[in-house]
Amino acid sequence: MKNIRLQYFAILREHRGQNEESRDTTAATAGELYEELKSEFKFPLGQEQTRVAINGEFSVMDAPLNNGDEVVYIPPVAGG
């Protein structure tokens, strides 16, 4: 079990109901953790529509997670 610090933005924040949290997980990768969160909080976006940053650097969904990592899932945003 590892403890991961999470931050949520835009539509993911709306579905989660908060900006950030610490979470214990057995997920081995960022993608596995996203699927865990998506299932629990009914995130409307698939992994292919979401970017991930781990410890302040853009990464990929199959990147391994370590205890204490900070993970940010970034949905597409519209600007104007």
Sign of CA dihedral 13, 16, 19, 20: negative
pTM here is 0.92
pLDDT in tens, 26-44: 999 999 999 999 999 999 9
Give me the average pLDDT of each 10-residue run along the chain (80 residues). 95 93 98 96 94 97 98 80
Buried b / exposed e over 7-32, threshold 16 CB at 10 Å, is bbeeebeebbeeeeeeeebebebbbb
- C-alpha–C-alpha distance, residues 67 and 22, integer Å: 11
